[in-house]
Structure 1
């Protein structure tokens, strides 16, 4: 294939998505990886380095590779196909081997060591010095000091872990889309809101069948669990959902992730021992804020101690309520249904009552207004940028002088062949080049309901919060002022602090002053009525302790399996999860529940021995927001202070120092407990 015509090698600001075909991918990645290796070798041979001869060439080579791989990785997640998946997965060993090659390159390591001891190093800025010292730490964690045989084994493990991560994700995606529930009896739809019925009818039409079709995508699954009066329908959906990618359920064994989980844990433990850590949790924390697994466990157990009693009271209240309606025992598929009924009775509010007030256009405009008021940036949609699907959009980010400083793609709706969940990923990072500043570009992806007929997409308030969360990540990436790739945006930020900006931005979804322009009825244009707003705010912390202990369950489970060397043994993962549940869960799922088989965060994402990061960073984000509560939620000086201290700084300084710069003190847990509705006596 002629590489000159390969769209992944085109020197363009935006990927030419329409031109990218599976056959372009491997030749482009092979070519760029080879180029990168040559640059690494040449750089290592230079005798006396300057910043320009050591850091710059490596950054430029990696940037080209990253900008070719980013659209491939993104398309694999949002417009998956067999051919795309096959070639994407075939490149993973190439990328993993290259990462190991760099991390274990003795010549390059020695070059960095020598540079760190040179006279020029002392003249560098604090941010540049941090880049060098952090790179040296990465070398050590990549096994650069290992003997040859162990280095080889390290590379083999990393390559296999990369394969397993992709396999886990692929099987979860396939399992999710392999099952659907087809209904022809309208009586079975009793209780379901109109929006869910319309979406199910459209799903049936797409499949060429009569009636209604429900899938395991969240926008289809959740309304059934919350509103369907038919207990048998809820049970059928629940069983299919919680047994995805396991040895049980309607597709039992077909996409089973059991062996992948066990092999992943075994290899992670072996990797940790190679690098002389006691367990993988210790290795994971080597680059995080938290100092040790014991500190993390203490943090999580402390939160559990504060939350479990309240969660037990909330569970008892739910059981009493269900019994008052003649329902003696709560099954797992009854929890969301009766919780929603209790919430409606207690607060006279529901997601469906709020949905008409959150049409897509108003929510996006409101999000932009909040951001502009806080940080002085604005947004313009463009129609001349190529996208991968008709529903995807592209926006420029403009500074106060109306100069374009960044851009992002937005892909909001759930669909077949698209990975579930919501995330931010980067296409390009801000960095200084010979031509000037490279603008950062982000991908922002969600899985919400799409427009139905003539009606715009109407979001639940939870979905609005999710959008703000991902946009917070996007702002961290796009508003950075760092010019070095490795500390630009979220790069170089410890994983347990990376959720700070995302969780921080969620707060505006609950503020009356912000909701005035985030919400607007899709037909009348009226703002969210005061009475409904008050009910929504009153219901904010409904069952908040139950939600807290559920997150703690996930976090404790994640830490436990990565601290226990025996977790790799058959059946042990389930046994460990059961133990964690005995300690903190107030809702014990049925024996057939296989939650771990779809826990992509830790088996196919970056959260292994790091899921606690959500709660850890929430301490930071809640405390940061409390300054806005004190000084005004749209106080421009406070907004600019957050921009300067946190968003602009990327990974240039220790996050605790950045937090102190903004808050004037160390973080405190009180704001998290208050925002989470956890009563502290």
Structure 2
């Protein structure tokens, strides 16, 4: 055991010297983003993987026949933490500053990483050593987080095929490598298709209705290309602005078709980056992986690490919500159709009309547009308000810190400290849409909390969004929907950064079931609807005037505007994803759309046009870890709504309630069963009633 620790420490000192020439290998501090180049990536990963393989053999030699936490788990955590820290900035940069050389290096490493992790998880000697530790007398003397780490590891070994015969084990490993490559290809195709589409407008009349910020962004894009006019792209802020505000129906139709046929066999770039064969192969390999493990389908495999007890339970949950919400969704759609016909003379409401006429109806009913609110949500004010809210809830302090290397000039860096001034976490924010940046919003790990022999490793997060960037001299101003997005992602970040768990496998979001991990994020959104919270930050970017009372009343009154239509859309996606992974045979492209049509027939109230190729850009499921797990958003929303109901009962800023949520949920990570943690906070099992109430649905 002692010799093994010496070998690891010697290597750590050696790697620091090597890191002078290769910044990817410098994993002791924060990532050196400005120094990392594509040519650094593959050699660094090759070196770490080779060294890790040597270290695994040394660990086994030291731990067998008497494995302990000290001689088995700690050194394994050490080598894998170094690999995570080396790969984290690479994967992140590939998502936010993508270029051809970086993508090539990233994709070259994926099969190597997949091979390593599968090889590690199929190592029968490691599995036996873990089992020996689990069955030993020392196991009972470990703390709950340590026990959970071992139990999760044993489960993951089984799910990686450690017990399979040699031939099946090799097949499982090859499939895992191929799946990693296919997920990256799916995202690459989607990014390329998104970046490729551009449209230059020279007639200002075609921009009628668009907000000034969207016009400015389009004008700047044209100027950068040396053109006169307005250049539209498929970044989400532009797409959303056109679909919501553009009076030009033909323009809305054109963008709708371009957006919903990305990476497919249809639309303006038909067949160029077609994801259909990628999807077919992904689904076939996922099904084969499940069958190799003796399960009937991939949905069953997915649930092995989730809260939901069975595939039937998931289907029943989703279908019950659909039964409760579809009648109201049909009524909401009928109202929208009447408005479009009676007020605007539109006889037939098409998919590219929904966003526009919904906004018109919202204005007529509530005398308020989403754009009316935007001046009251300047980005710096929203961040300050968000920080003030969590400071009051959890007794923490958040402050910006300069002098930190980043990957783009827009990026900012912050630190979280507790009431005693101790550092609890750090995070980067990258908030604006730009070319070569993956769409959407997400939180990801840069560093995981881990109590090493050298001291405590502070958790570090990436918080990424795609908001409309600043226009001219004015600051970036968020829509209320974007405020909700920021609060959501920061909830994930708090879960990662405020953990008190010292072991990486169950620290922060690690080890948390996928259908519970959205609890802290959805929970945080609630404060963006409350007057006492909005008073902390909703101020006009020029005058400093607070959000007028009538605006707040109209905002609150519109909270559940078309909420049932939104509910059935999410249920449509969740049921489609889940049924797709229940298929007994690998679905063809035709079967994918047949399944989607069947789900829509039962749940949806809007039927898109035949050219719609939504599955080809459903990255959550085909590249983002939500396979047979998209239902998690609604499952966790039951938990988050019920958790928030306690604050409604006891006070939005009640410090005792905030401390209880911090200690029961945020600090515990994956160290205990998710339902046990929820019941510790709520004092009972979750109820669906708060979700129905918050969604404007009758029980």
2 CA distance for matches of 1:11 and 1:314?
53
> Residues 519-598 of structure 1 correspond to what in structure 2 (within 5 A)?
519-598=538-617
Q: Is the 8 A contact 1:517 1:527 kept in 2?
A: no
Give the aligned length.
Answer: 680
How do residues 121-160 of structure 1 correspond to structure 2 at under 5 angstroms? 121-160=139-178
Secondary structure class of the residue paired with 1:451: coil
In the TM superposition, residue 193 of structure 1 has moved relative to its aligned partner by: 1.9
SS of residue matched to 1:465: helix
How far the C-alpha of 1:295 sits from its partner, in A, is: 0.5
* Counterpart position of 2:649: 630
Question: 1 CA distance for matches of 2:28 and 2:292?
Answer: 42
Matched residue, 2:4:
none
Q: How far has the Cα of 1:518 moved from its partner?
A: 2.4
TM-score by length of structure 1 reads 0.99
- Counterpart in 2 of 1:295? 313
- 3-state SS of paired residue (1:412): strand
Is the contact made by 1:566 and 1:572 (CA closer than 8 Å) also made in structure 2? no
Aligned residue in 2 for 1:10? 26
SS at match of 1:214: strand
SS in 2 for 1:286: helix
Residue 605 of structure 1 aligns to a residue in which SS? coil
Give the Cα–Cα distance (whole angstroms) in 1 for the partners of residues 71 and 133 of structure 2: 11
| Counterpart among 179, 183, 199 of residue 161 in structure 1 | 179
Q: Provide the rounded CA distance (Å) in 1 between the counterparts of 2:317 and 2:589.
A: 29
TM-score, with structure 2 as normaliser: 0.96
8 A contact 1:6–1:28 mirrored in 2: yes
Q: CA deviation at 1:3?
A: 5.7
CA distance in 2, matches of 1:567, 1:214: 38
Structure 1 position 127, deviation (Å): 2.1
> Residues 534, 331 of structure 1: CA spacing in aligned structure 2 closer, same or farther, 3 A cutoff?
same
Query: Is residue 95 of structure 2 the alignment partner of residue 77 of structure 1?
Result: yes
1:257 aligns with 2:260: no
The answer to whether the 8 Å contact 1:561/1:567 transfers is no
Q: Secondary structure at the match of 1:208?
A: coil
CA distance in structure 1 between the partners assigned to 2:519 and 2:126 by the alignment: 34
What are the superposed Cα offsets for residues 98-146 of structure 1, whole Å, 9 maximum, x if unpaired? Answer: 1111110010001001111111112112221121112111111110000
Equivalent residues of 1:16, 1:386 under 8 A apart:
yes
Superposed displacement of residue 566, structure 1: 3.4
2:102 is equivalent to residue 120 of structure 1: no
Alpha-carbon shift at residue 4 of structure 1 (Å): 5.0
2:75 is the counterpart of 1:57: yes
Q: CA deviation at 1:369?
A: 0.2
Contact persistence 2:287–2:586 (CA under 8 A): no
2:66 matches 1:48? yes
- CA contact under 8 A between 2:19 and 2:26: conserved in structure 1? no
Alignment gaps of 5+ in structure 1 = none
3-state SS, counterpart of residue 349 of structure 2: coil
Please show how residues 262-411 of structure 1 align to structure 2 within 5 Å: 262-324=280-342, 325-411=344-430
Once residues 438 and 600 of structure 2 are traced to their aligned partners in structure 1, the CA distance between those partners, rounded to angstroms, is 28
Q: Would you identify which runs of 4 or more consecutive aligned residues in structure 1 move more than 3 Å? A: 1-4
Residue 679 of structure 1 and its aligned partner are, at CA, apart by 2.3
**Deviation (angstroms), 1:11:** 4.0
- Tell me: CA distance 1:667–1:461, structure 2 relative to 1, closer, same or farther (3 Å): same
Inter-partner Cα distance in structure 2 for 1:148 and 1:299: 39
Deviates more, 1:375-384 or 1:358-367: 375-384
Shift in Å at residue 567 of structure 1?
Answer: 4.7
Q: Distance in 2 between matches of 1:189 and 1:133?
A: 58
Q: Aligned partners of 1:550 and 1:272: how far apart in 2?
A: 28
Would you say the 8 A contact 1:500–1:621 is kept in 2? Answer: yes
**Secondary structure of the residue that 1:383 maps to in structure 2?**
coil
- SS of residue paired to 1:408: strand
Deviation of 1:383 after TM superposition, in Å, equals 1.4
Structure-1 separation of matches of 2:224 and 2:28 = 36
Aligned to 1:34: 50
The answer on whether the counterparts of 1:312 and 1:586 sit within 8 Å (CA) in structure 2 is: yes
Cα deviation code 1:9-56 (max 9, x no counterpart): 114321111110001000111111112222222222322111100100
Distance across 2 between alignment mates of 1:485 and 1:422? 24
8 A contact 1:567–1:573 mirrored in 2: no
After superposition, the C-alpha distances for 1:479-501 in whole angstroms (9 at most, x for unaligned) are 00000010100000000000000
**Deviation digits for residues 463-493 of structure 1 (CA, Å, limit 9, x no counterpart):** 0000000000000000000000101000000
Pair 1:490 & 2:516 matched: no
How well do the aligned residues superpose, as a CA RMSD in angstroms?
Answer: 1.0
User: Equivalents in 1 of 2:54, 2:87: separation in Å?
Assistant: 18
Higher mean C-alpha deviation, range 7-16 or range 592-601: 7-16
Q: Could you tell me how far apart the structure 1 residues matched to 2:655 and 2:18 are?
A: 53
How far off its partner does 1:2 sit?
5.8
2:526 is the alignment partner of 1:510: no
- 5 Å-filtered alignment, 1:87-106, equals 87-106=105-124
Output one character per residue of 1:235-255: Cα deviation in whole Å (capped at 9) or x when no partner: 011110100000000011111
* Aligned equivalents of 1:11, 1:185: Cα separation in 2: 52
Correspondence 1:616-627 to 2 at 5 A: 616-627=635-646
Cα offset, 1:263, TM superposition = 0.4
The corresponding residue for 2:10 is none
1:415 to 422, 428, 434: 434
- 2:456 aligns to what SS in structure 1? strand
Alignment match, 1:435 = 454
Does the alignment pair 1:216 with 2:234?
yes
Counterpart CA distance in 1 for 2:659 and 2:114 is 39
Whether 1:174 and 2:192 are equivalent positions in the alignment is: yes
In the TM superposition, what whole-angstrom CA distance separates every residue of 1:321-376 from its partner, at most 9, and x where no partner exists?
Answer: 11102110001101111110001000111110000000001000001000100011
In structure 2, runs of 5+ residues without a counterpart are 1-16
Q: Displacement, 1:385?
A: 0.6
